[in-house]
Amino acid sequence: MTKTKNNYLLLLISLAFAYFAFGAITNVAGAIVPKIKDTYHVSGSASSFLASVFFIAYGLMSVPFGILINKKGTKFTLLLGSLITTIGVLMFAAIPGYFANMASMFICGVGITGIQVAANPLVKQISNPEKYSRNLTLFMVLFGVGSTLAPYVVTFIKNRGLEWNYAYWLFSIVSLIMLISLAVPKYPEEKKEDTKEEKGEGNFTTILKDPLMILFTLAIFLYVGVEVGVANNIALFLEDTHKISNILGDSAEAAKNAAIGNYWFGLLLGRLIGGLILDKLPTQKAIQIFITGAAISLAAAIFCPNLNVSLWSFPFVGFFISIMFPSIYGLAMNSYDKKYSGIISGILCTAIIGGAIVGPVISKIAEVTGSIAEPNWHRGMIVAFICYAYIFTVGIWAKSEKQKSES
């Protein structure tokens, strides 16, 4: 078994780079939101929506890509996803315009959905059992590294005297390297399995209607929404509330991009440390402690009048929300029989569409309660606290391991 797994070392390295690449492409959005607003003269909520449309693809394409894997295989799906991503990034770089960029962003989202749906189970398939957790953790760390570096790329492009969309030419190169690297390695042979039991008539509908499944799906929807929604509105908040350009002048843009990058770095650091904490605390209790920390950190970032406090608080928000997705996802998967894992995974991945909804809602409420010129971010961010409050309840109603074994 070990020898067989070691034959896929090159594929593991290629997948590791893929996680880094789509982390950067996914989470550069926060840094380009103010650029979209200024370049195309649209409102903050409109610019936030363009960045968030990426996540609509998850809601629409997660299940179709899962079906494609069964029909055409993992390698075909990975390469198709990489090709679509590369096309989307190239379109963003080459074709300006608000609606053109929106279409490009959606295409990128479709491609990366395909990559993720195929890559997550493939990592398990080609890892030695005792090293699977290590590999998956490493890949999530690399995803976080890509997310952290992406906003700094926008700053780098500006310092070179180039337009902000030139960052997407750089991402096009990264995406092309990802496509080539995934095409080269050897992939494991795929056997067609009898899935009649899992696809029994009414199973999908029955699970989707189960109250517990609805609660978990909503938790994933709100978590992804608030994670992305806060990140995509950081730059607008710093400009509208703290007037950061008036305070820092030419260095304001770098400071805003750094704040977004630090938010993702906090999330990366939280994932590294969170694994150790989850070994010591029940998942439900850890969720409640960490989400409380996120709420306190966001309150400091939003309501404290001191700019430095805001800049230092956003990374702590990222740190404290870091364990939510794997914790909620794991609790949901462990609440049902293993034969339904494919159905449950598809439902939960579809809920990632929350990333397209919550951010624009935050900015729209800020504009409605204030104005387009002077949004009231204190009121808009109430949406984030509502999301945190719901996630806190997961620790109350999610089944513990003892309750699962008894049932």
The domain limits of the chain are: 1-183, 200-407
**If you average pLDDT over residues 190-207, what whole number do you get?**
56
Angle made by CA atoms 148, 152, 156, in degrees to the nearest 5:
155
Q: What is the dihedral of CA 151, 231, 306, 308, to 10 degrees?
A: -30
Equal fold, 1-183 vs 200-407: yes
State the DSSP H helix or E strand holding residue 285, giving kind and residue range, or none if neither.
helix 283-303
Q: What percent of the chain is modeled with pLDDT above 90?
A: 48
Q: Is the dihedral of CA 389, 319, 228, 340 positive or negative?
A: negative
Is-contact 185 11, C-beta < 8 A? yes
Q: Which residues contact 30 (CB under 8 A, 6 or more apart)?
A: 51, 151, 231, 232, 233, 234, 235, 260, 263
* Listed residue (19, 249, 39, 228) closest to 115, CA to CA: 19
Counting Cβ atoms within 10 Å, is residue 160 exposed (0-12), middle (13-18) or buried (19+)? Answer: exposed
**If you average pLDDT over residues 95-108, what whole number do you get?**
94
Residue 23 has pLDDT above 70, yes or no: yes
Tokens 């491609």 locate to: 111
Q: Which residues of 292-330 are buried (b: 16+ CB within 10 A; e: fewer)?
A: ebbbebbebbbeeeebeebbbbbbbbbbbbbbbbbbbbe
* DSSP class of 73: -
Cα Dmax for the chain: 64
Q: Provide the CATH topology of domain 1-183.
A: Growth Hormone; Chain: A; (1.20.1250)
Q: Compute the distance between CA of residue 350 and CA of residue 45 in angstroms, rounded to an integer.
A: 23
Angle made by CA atoms 139, 144, 145, in degrees to the nearest 5:
95
pLDDT band at 50 (very low <50, low <70, confident <90, very high): confident
Q: Which two tokens stand for residue 55?
A: 């996540």
Q: Which residues contact 351 (CB under 8 A, 6 or more apart)?
A: 59, 217, 218, 220, 221, 224
How far apart, in Å, are the Cα atoms of 297 and each of 210, 224, 235, 277, 317? Answer: 34, 18, 17, 19, 5
**If you average pLDDT over residues 208-225, what whole number do you get?**
92
Q: Compute the distance between CA of residue 226 and CA of residue 295 in angstroms, rounded to an integer.
A: 11
pLDDT band at 197 (very low <50, low <70, confident <90, very high): very low
**If you average pLDDT over residues 67-83, what whole number do you get?**
89
Helices 341-350 and 56-72: crossing angle, nearest 10°? 150
* DSSP class of 356: G
pLDDT band at 259 (very low <50, low <70, confident <90, very high): very high
Rounded to a whole number of angstroms, the distance between the first and last alpha carbons of the chain is 35
**Domain 200-407 has what CATH class?**
mainly alpha
Interval 119-165: pLDDT, tens: 877 877 777 765 655 566 678 788 889 988 999 998 899 888 888 88
pTM: 0.81
pLDDT band at 179 (very low <50, low <70, confident <90, very high): very high
* Listed residue (337, 334, 343, 348) closest to 215, CA to CA: 348
pLDDT band at 242 (very low <50, low <70, confident <90, very high): very high
Mean per-residue pLDDT over the chain, rounded: 86
Q: Chain-centre distance of CA 374, in angstroms?
A: 28
